[in-house]
Each structure stands twice: as structure tokens, then as C-alpha cells.
Amino acid sequence: MLRAQGRAVHQGDSGWVPVFVDREQSISLMSVGFLLEQPDEAVVWRGPKKNALIKQFVSDVAWGQLDYLLVDTPPGTSDEHMAVVDALRPHSPLGALVVTTPQAVSVGDVRRELTFCRKVGLRVIGLVENM
């Protein structure tokens, strides 16, 4: 969506330098996709490796001054979601913006995600229905 395919991150003096999508460098991205050799390559990692990368994305990326940090996660309430919440907790996140589609399976996922947010003490700041 942001036309960042084929871009790569690199190591800078203060950590990984994210990919910037505009000349003003006001929108920056970090994705495991930037670390893959081939864009269609599957990421087959177990919990500890995935969780370590999530923590690195929060702590070892030279984000600079941020107005907002959006973290896009797959549907569900997995270990990755816990790793994101744990990594961001020291930074006092505003909360979660939950995105859904009108299909029944998506609505069921969102119900579980809302329960997840409540259980981990993460405020839900919005719910968006896409499509």
C-alpha cells in the first residue's frame, strides 16, 4: 500500500534505520519483509525468535521523534501480541486501534482481541470496520 517493496533497512549509529516512504521522512516503516531475501519468502520462526524481533523493532530501530507508532498485527491473540504489549508497555502506549471486516469470523476475532486488550490493561481507542 505504501509502495515500499524492494526497500531495505540498514544499520545506523543509533540502530536500524527504518524505511521512509516520503521525502519529508514523516512516515517510516519497519517490517520483517524488509529483512527477507525474496519478497514471497515465508517466515517460519517459533515464539522466542519472533518475540525477540518484535522487541528489536521497538528498542533497536532509530525511529526518531514520533507522533504515533502503529503496529500492524495479524488477527488473533497470540504470543506476538503479548510481545508487542510487553515491548511497548515502558513507553505508555495510548491504546489499541482494532480493525475488522464485516465477516462473522473477523467479528469473532475482534471479540477475542477486545477481551485480550481488557486482560492486559490496554485501552481500546477505536474500532474500525474496513470494507
Q: Summarize the confidence of residues 74-103 as an average pLDDT.
A: 91
DSSP character string of 69-80: ------SS--HH
Q: Taking the CA of residue 19 as centre, how many other CA atoms within 13 Å lie in the half-sphere pointing to its CB?
A: 16
Q: Answer yes or no: is pLDDT of 16 > 90.
A: yes
Q: Answer yes or no: is pLDDT of 83 > 90.
A: yes
What is the pLDDT of the chain when averaged over all its residues? 91
Q: Summarize the confidence of residues 96-115 as an average pLDDT.
A: 92
pLDDT band at 39 (very low <50, low <70, confident <90, very high): confident
